[in-house]
Structure formats: C-alpha cells, structure tokens
Structure 1
C-alpha cells in the first residue's frame, strides 16, 4: 500500500465508507485531518462543511444520520472543541441518530500531564455515546473508525466517539485501510409469535398501532403502509414517527402523542384493548403517561428489546426486522380484515375531533398571529418533497399537534432530549442531502439564537432554507408552565432582536410579518426567494394557558 499518515488513513476510511460530508471546526490538534480533507485530490473525498460552533456541527451530523440512516461525521479539536460536542452527541444517542465524532487530543506523551487542552475526552463522552475509544497507534485508526461506524448504525442507533492524539494523526500507517462493513440485516421473530400477534389483532375489539422513532426509516414506514393496506388499523404517531402515514392511508391517522394529554391519540390508546407498539422508545413518551391504569394487552415489535417498567410490561415481545415481521403477519390476513361497526363509529368521532381542532380561531388582534394560522398557512405551502425541521419551544407543541406530514423523516423533532437549537442545523443537513427541494425550519425567538450563527453556513453553501421565527420575547414553553405551577413567571423574558436585520447581516434575506405585510404574502415571498430566508412572525400565545391544562403532570417536574 502507499505510505500514508494517520490523517490520510482517516480520509481514506471516510471515502471507503462513502461519507459525503464532514462537519466541524478546526484546531491545532486536528488540523492535519482538515488539511487532508481540504486538499485531497480524490474526487470521492467528503466535502468539508465548516460550522460556527461545535454543538451545531454535531447537530448537522445527527441530521445526516436521521435523514439517511447512515452515520453523520463530525470532527473537532481538543479541549473545548470536544466538550462542545456533548449536547449534540447525547441528543443523537437519545434520539436514535447515528454519528461518528472525531475529537482531537493532545500528544500521547501529554495525556497524563496537566497541559493545554488536555482532558479525559473518552471519560467525558462515555455517558453520551454508545462507544468511545482513544487511539494510541495510527495503525488502529481505520479499524477504530470502521467499528465506530458499524456500532453507530446498530439498533439502537446513536453516537460514537474517537479521541485521536495529535501525533497519531502524523504517525505513519503501515496497515491497510478498512473497507466499509457489510450491512447486517435482522431476521423475523419466531412464526409462533407472529401467529400470536395475528390472533391478538383478530380477537381485539379496538387494536391500535403506536408507531415510534424506529418505525420512521424508509424501509419500516413502507412495511407499515403495506401492512395497513391489508389490515387497516388506527395508528397513533409519536413525534419522531411523524410521516409514517401517507395520504392514501389518512383514515388510519389519529394524531401524535407526547407532552399533552387528552388528545385524540391519547384517548384512543386509553380505550384500546390491544396496543401494538412498533419501534416505540419510552424516551419519546413514557408508558406511565399513556398506559397507566389502562386495561388491555400490549405487544412490542421492535429491532431492540424494550425497557421494562412497572407501566410497560408487554404481553408479547417480538424482536427483529420490523418491516419483514409485519409482512409476515399480514400474510395471515389473506381474507381481509375489518373493524366492527361500533369501533368504526367511535373512530369517526375521533377523526372529527382531529379536524375540528386544526381550525384557527377568529382573532381581532392585528399585530399578532395565532399559532394555528401559522400552521395552516405553512401547511398550504409544504408538499411531500419538502422537509420541515422544528426546534423546541411553544411552537413545537403547536407544530407537533397540528402540522401534518405524509413522508417519513420529512418532519423532524427533538423529542427525547428536547434540545434547543436543532432546527437550523438540521435544515442545513436536509438541504445538503435533499438538494433541489425546499427546506423549512421553525423555531422560537429564544431557540433561534442557540444556533442562528449557522445562517452564515447556509449562505456560504447557497442553501434554500426558509426559517420561521415565532417571536414573542420569552422562553414561552417555560413561561406558561411556570404560570400554571406558580401563578407567575421568572427568568423567561429577554430583549428584542431585529431578526430581519440579523439575517441580512449574514447575507440572508430577512422578512417580517406586520400590519402592512400579511403572513400569507410574506410566506409567498419567502418561498419564492433563493437562498436562506428568515421570517419573523409576531405570535399570539394567549391560548397557551389552555395548553397548560393539558400538559402531563410529570412534565412540570
């Protein structure tokens, strides 16, 4: 093999694994890798995307992981470069997004000394990832990367971390670079257990499917859709499984669950005598919130074993490839399947509740826009090819509750960690992997400034992103909970920002909804504009007081 150093071995490993992008911020301990990526003459070398903060670079990598199912790659320097990754990596691990993170480190002979930017990186990252390793020999770099890549994709997917001392990157590599690992496919559960699932569906009066985060990849979503065409059961989505139900199956959709109670989906789960949890993870919506005191069976179908709690003890656990398992179960319904007339009447009443709650109220306030009006106007302009990324805040509740999506992983939420700042970095990832489509990101005015500096990244990369800011001058998701608990608010007010001028300072387009510029006309202009656009929307959160009454008690803890 041609002699190479550690940095070149990593670059070649990235190429062998068909990595398209590397996100990050350079520094002295990792600059050899950045130099090699920047000036490699191999046309298959991943494109280096320089971010404005390591946390956002990790979010961009997790966006790649969520959208493609293959690990996103982030590379940063030592010390604070590594520590700034922590939030992005724990979010990815909690929310099933594969990432391989590469962190620079001081030279090997400085590891035991108190030197500049010397920290125990692997110890720091161990609780936030599935796998960590510090590489002491350049010959191990390619092997370590290949294993980190493979582990990040194994169910449950998540982040992995490699710490690479500076002189390991410069040392000579004599061992061949690893090829990409072959995909490992799961089989299906025992046919006896699949028959038990089919029999349980036939015996149930009101069987319901609860889809979770591991139901939302393309293969699994297609398997669920194929199953529903043979066995038309009602479906409730968690936030991260948004889009599993397609247009032609909309009669099976009964909303999403999470955060708030007494939604149609909650009522359906409570009444059901059989819940089939497909790809469900308790971090999305704990079973104590939907299964406490309910009666009826639970069957768990997933690629991983479930976490068992007092409130989640499935009567049957099926582990394996979800799509293939559903295909096998559907074969048991060759003669078709129908729910009873009584059950269909009840489901019709829930559908009516879903439709009725999406209608915006009439408002006399000409200075503020009701959340449902924003959702409605956005819904009119978003087609199935578009991707919508949503940050965390009060807007997140309204979007999760009311915005419809009909393709898997085209409506993205941070559900497990509820991490502020994800929307714009995820939108950047979506614009890179889904070129020639419109990307929309949505945030509050608080969360936007957690990652708003990445507007420069979006401008630099010439990405078509429309970013909506629901602007009210508060950390409102905290504010309305405080008012519900204490009758007053504390620590949630901040000063005004001219977001249109902020956008323009980065070279983006800035627009604002006001009395002279309606939401409808501003959105039309935004969607017709090339490049990144920021739309400042003054929002009326007066109805959040009603939302607070529906919040689950444990969310106030």
Structure 2
C-alpha cells in the first residue's frame, strides 16, 4: 500500500547570505573578526556567533580596523573587520592607514536594503565609491550567490603585489536572503590565491651578485614586503655570506635582530645616525623599500648619483620610481634573496673591513648620544622612561610605539629583536593607533608581553579601547608619556614661530580613566616611582596603565625639521 510520499524529491537545503559569508571566511582560514554591532550587520553577527568565530567588539570602528591590520601583519593571515554604514564612515581613516601599513584586510560593511538603493533610504552613502579611493579594491554584493566569488577576488587582491585593504558591501537584505545551497559555489583558498612564489631570472641573479661582490661600500635596506613571509633565516644566511650591512624599517623591523653582527638597526635618517651612511654607499640593495621622501626620492644628497641601485620589488609599478635603477627584480622578496644566497656562495667575499666597522662605530656612538639623556630629573626625561623599560624587556616581548617626541626616543633606543614584534607608525603618521595595535598584538601573540608606548595626545584618540582590552582579558601595559601637550607640534611651533598655538593639553589623570574602565592605573611623577610602578604593572592580572609625567623636550627629529624649514626646505 502506497503512503503517497513516493516519488517526491528531497527538499532542497536553503542557505542565506550571512551563512555564505561565514562559510567563505572559514575556507580562507579566518576565525577572528574585529567589529562593532550595528543594524546593518546584525544577520551576519548572529551567524558568526553561532559558528563560533571569535568576535572582538571594539569601541570605535577605526580602532577595529587598526586591530584587523595588526592581526594580519602579525599572523600573516587575512584580517577581517565587520561594520555597519555609519561605522563604515568611521572605518575609513583606518583603511587609509592599512594601505600605508600594507595590511591585507577585508572590510565587510552592511547597508540598508539593496531594493531601496537611491531612494533616500536610511544612512545611504556611496560606501563602495568611498572605499574604492582608500583601498586596493571595493565591491557590492547584490546577490548572495555572488558572495563567494566576490570575496575570493577581494582576498586575492589584498594579498597580491603590495598588500593592502579591500572592501565588500553586503546589504542587509542580501545577508538575509535565502537561496538553494546547490546554487552557491565555494572555493578552497589554494584555488584562488597564488601558492607558488615569484622568483627572478638566473641572469638577473648573477648580475645582482656580481654588482654586490664588486662593491666597496654596499648596504641592504629592507622594508615592509620583506616581512610578508617567515624569511628570517634566508636574510641571515645572505648577510652572513656577503657581510653586507643590513638595516630595516616599517614592518620589516626585527626580521633580522638588531643584535645580529651585520644588522645595524632602524633605517630612519632622522632617528638613527647609521642610516645616514647610505649617503656614502656605492651599491644599494633595496628589499621592498620605496624610493620615496624618506630617502630624498632616491636622489642626492641621500642617494649618491654614482651609486648603483638594485631594487627587489613586489609591485612592478614601483620599479625605478623617481630615479633609474641599475637592476630590478620583481617578485617575492624572501625567495629572491634565497636565489641570491645560492649564487653568493660561489663567490669570495671580503672579511668585514672599514665599511662594516664604520657602521658598528656609528651605532655605538648613537647609543652613547642617546644615553646622555638618561638622567634623574622631575619631570622625567623620556629617555629615562625608555631606559627603565629596557631593563625589564625580554627578547620575545612586543613593543608598539605611537608618534611624537616621547615615543621618538623609544624608537631610537629600544632594539627590534624578533620579527613582528616592534611596531611604529607608518609614514602616513596617523596618531592614536598604538593603543588598538597593542591590543590586537596581544590577541595574536597571547604568550608574549605587550608594551604600548604613547604620548598623551595620541592616547586620547583611542583611549576607550582600554575597555576592549579589559573585557577581552588582553593584558597590555600602556606607558603614557604625559607632557600636557601635542609635544612634537608644540616644539615645531616654538622652533619655527616662537610660540605654541592650541598645542597645550592638561596633565589629565589618564590613570583614573584606566581605573574607571577596569584596568590597573597609576600616576608616576618622579624617577624613584617609575621602576616599582612598572613592576606592579607587569605583575598585575589585567591591562595596566602608567600615567607618567614627562618633560616636553624637542626630539632630534623635530629639531631637524625646524632647521630644514628655516633653511628653505619642506616639512
């Protein structure tokens, strides 16, 4: 006897847009999202929570982007931030910064219903158009079935060439819309991202090594693309073979320890005297270093006209920008340096001579110059603070610096000893990111101690993120240098115009703010109080903030700007 159900098809499974997003993120290996709740991403947040994603809810969307970019740089994986429409507007400064830090992040923004676009719907702005100007690419998902291929295109774009942020707007009705599961095609990560490194031709490698081997005063400068992979051993072998002085900047800080015998620290002309030896070089190997304003656009007096420049670059558009180069190699920095090493071992290389010794002497002299400022005074000198911290640091600690004169001395003094453990502002110079960056650093590296060095002005931008650190139990030690001023600009004003204008702040009780948010907070006013307070901050359970009263003193970098400007140069 028939039951009447024979011959009926199995009901087709349904899946909605939010589920499609989460499935695509899982296939990319994403498990952590930086976000702030809002109407237009509620369907997505609900599914993310159901699926067990780690949701780091921040107090401001710009801070969420800073955290996502830090996560991407420290883990090497995609950073993801999810925001709503007003939140997208708040996130824009963070996306601009992520372009400067070359961080591969996906910014997902909800919006009002797609079916009511261009009718005056609530909070309607041109999200994709705005994002397109500050990211590597931006797209609108108008159909849930298109979400996987749009996401794979965005992610591939984020990682190829010089890395950076990408954007995808998914309207709230597209997130909620259901389609049949068999209508959606998902993609494994290795099917839409390049897995084979791009290397250089053998002729180019031989040519590069011959140029370097014939040099009398060569130097290697590594920048952010040198940090895209785990290539420390490759770089170490190469400089140990060739004995060429090696310096690092931006996210490449620490890819070879500053304590390595052939690594001479921070490549910054205004913060490290040894960097200025590039002006005496005859061959320069740039590993992802832009020929930008930091080196006089590749021209004299920073780069000698007669110097031969070899440029290894991930983005062919950057080759020879602002000046011609002797040789260019386009591809992945680490694998190409590995090729150089294979060729280099076939040659004889001079033992370290006058050129290497000049670097060693300059580094020693620069440190001695900084150490003259380690004096016990009230208010404290910035260098006394950094020297006190240095005595407590371990090799696996993470240090995050903000901008300004107070942090300047720390950047110039405290070495980078390990990859992805020493961060400062990119050349964009956007203040205030050190607080969220340090919080994300602790999330990415929970076993490490994280120290955030920020001035009082910069601290104010994202001070409420201490609440985020408290709620998510992310222990960061914040060392706020409080000189009651926008220090670097105040000192520039005094140097250039003889008086400060709207650059004075109050000696605010940031320690009480921290306490009010649930963190440990202390006011430190004298040199004698500093070390005991620092030890208490290190040993307490949760996040800790020291509100350290310091002198307002012009840094050598700011002084150089004043002198250059007075001589008719630019800022």
The TM-score bracket by the shorter chain reads over 0.9
Provide the residue aligned with 2:53 in structure 1: 46
Q: CA deviation at 1:325?
A: 1.5
1:215 aligns with 2:223: no
Q: Is the 8 A contact 1:392 1:443 kept in 2?
A: yes
Larger radius of gyration: 2
* Secondary structure at the counterpart of residue 531 of structure 1: coil
Counterpart mapping for 1:229-268 below 5 A: 229-246=240-257, 249=260, 251-258=261-268, 260=270, 263-268=272-277
Contact map agreement 1:360 1:370 (CA 8 A) in 2 = no
TM-score (normalised: structure 2): 0.91
Secondary structure of 1:285's aligned partner: helix
Partner-residue secondary structure (3-state), 1:493: coil
Give the counterpart of 1:388 among 376, 381, 399.
399
Distance 1:551 1:306, change over 3 A: farther
Asked if structure 2 preserves the Cα contact closer than 8 Å seen for 1:255 and 1:264, the reply is: no
What corresponds to 2:154 in structure 1?
148
Q: Give the gaps of 5 or more residues in structure 2.
A: 1-11
Q: Distance in 1 between matches of 2:78 and 2:184?
A: 22
Other structure's SS at 2:239 match: helix
Structure 1 position 332, deviation (Å)? 2.6
**Paired residues for 1:412-431 under 5 Å:** 412-431=423-442
Aligned equivalent of 1:126, options 132, 140, 157: 132
Matched residue SS, 1:219: coil
User: Can you list the C-alpha shifts for 1:167-220, whole angstroms capped at 9, x where unaligned?
Assistant: 101111333352332142323111111111111111111000011111124423
Q: What is the root-mean-square deviation in Å for CA atoms of aligned residues? A: 2.3
Aligned length: 549
Q: Please give the alpha-carbon distance, in whole angstroms, between the structure 2 residues aligned to 1:346 and 1:405.
A: 21
Question: 3-state SS of the aligned residue for 2:276?
Answer: helix
Question: Does the residue aligned with 1:404 lie in a helix, a strand or coil?
Answer: coil
Indicate conservation of the 8 Å contact 1:287/1:311, yes or no. no
CA contact (8 A) 1:269 1:290 kept: no
Residue of structure 1 aligned with 2:177, choices 171, 193, 197:
171
| CA spacing shift, 1:4–1:344, aligned 2, 3 Å | closer
Q: Any conservation in 2 of the 1:500–1:534 contact (CA below 8 Å)? A: yes
CA–CA separation in structure 2 for the residues paired with 1:522 and 1:359? 22
CA distance in 2, matches of 1:552, 1:92: 32
**Match status 1:194 vs 2:205:** yes
| Distance in 2 separating the partners of 1:400 and 1:239 | 11
Contact 1:13 1:177 in 2 (8 A): no
Point out the more displaced range, 278-287 or 314-323.
278-287
Q: Deviations over 1:60-108 (max 9, x none)?
A: 1111111112221101111x21111101111111211111001111111
> Separation in 2 of the partners of 1:291 and 1:410?
33
Q: SS of the counterpart of 1:349?
A: helix
2:365 aligns with one of 312, 333, 353: 353
Shift of 1:281: 2.7
Query: What is the correspondence of 1:262-277 to structure 2 with a 5 Å cutoff?
Result: 263-277=272-286
Cα 1:289–1:397 change in 2 (3 A) is farther
* TM-score normalised over the length of structure 1: 0.93
For 1:218 and 1:26, the matched residues in 2 are separated by 33
What's the counterpart of residue 459 of structure 1?
470
The superposition leaves residues 279-313 of structure 1 with CA deviations (integer Å, 9 ceiling, x where unpaired) of 21346824437744623111001222253677432
Q: Secondary structure at the match of 1:447?
A: helix
Q: Distance in 2 between matches of 1:13 and 1:283?
A: 37
